[in-house]
Structure 1
Amino acid sequence: MRKLPNLFKFDEISDGDNDFKQVMVSILKKEFPIEKQSFFDAFESEKYKECAEVVHKLKHKIHLLGLEEGYILSANFENQLVNNSFELYEDFVIILETIENFLKNI
């Protein structure tokens, strides 16, 4: 069973301050689609170093959403991209789609 994104780390960081939590979530909702598109643009343009840099940013958002296995996969994929390897591409895209669906529903 695949783990789903959650806001547990946001709850922990905000320490009960719901306004602060909502600000963090709104920043995530704003940045994530931009970075996701940057990833696809760089990948399609075969700019793999740039793509790895975007994956690095997304990796931390994946971690914040409680997807530890996704974080590890992202770190491995980031390293693969630097070496022009794309073995984990499809798995990484699934993580992005899962997060996108989650963010649309919160």
Structure 2
Amino acid sequence: MIEEHPNLIQVNEICGSNIDFKTKLIYILKSELISEIDTYQKNLSLNNYIECAENVHKLKHKISILGLEKSYEIAVFFEEDLRKSNLKRKVEFDEILNSMLAFTADL
């Protein structure tokens, strides 16, 4: 279990006082996150681990922008594991995704 929580620190640093830009960035983040997680889950259900690794690679950007440093490290290792058809970090990675979805749902 990871002892960190998604936050908007990096989003706030990127956007500064530009509220319109922040609103657009959060909208894009939320919509892409949902889409990328759906694609990841589809590829996972098809045992398409190479494509799944690519999905995790894309999701790492969302993990990073939400300030999840430890989770980012887990994603790096999970991406490498998937390229070897190894799912040992799947449960932990899915917990990260769930925390991100819960956090962004409230934005």
| TM-score bracket relative to the smaller structure | over 0.9
**Stretches (4+) displaced over 6 A:** none
Q: Provide the secondary structure at the position in 1 that maps to 2:10.
A: helix
Q: Normalised by the size of structure 2, how large is the TM-score? A: 0.96
Larger RCO (CA within 8 A; separation ≥ 6): 2
Partner in structure 1 of residue 55 of structure 2: 54
Partner in structure 1 of residue 21 of structure 2: 20
| Counterpart amino acid of residue 10 in structure 1 | V
Alpha-carbon RMSD? 0.9
Partner in structure 1 of residue 71 of structure 2: 70
Instruction: State, as a whole percentage, how many aligned pairs show the same letter.
Output: 36
Write the deviation string for residues 6-61 of structure 1: whole angstroms up to 9, x where unpaired: 01101000121111111100001111111001111001101000000000000110
Alignment partners' CA distance in 2, 1:77 and 1:44: 16
Q: Gapped runs of 5+ residues in structure 1? A: none
**Paired residues, number:** 106
Alignment partners' CA distance in 2, 1:10 and 1:104: 16
Q: Gapped runs of 5+ residues in structure 2? A: none
Partner in structure 2 of residue 94 of structure 1: 95
Alignment partners' CA distance in 1, 2:48 and 2:27: 29
Q: Normalised by the size of structure 1, how large is the TM-score? A: 0.97
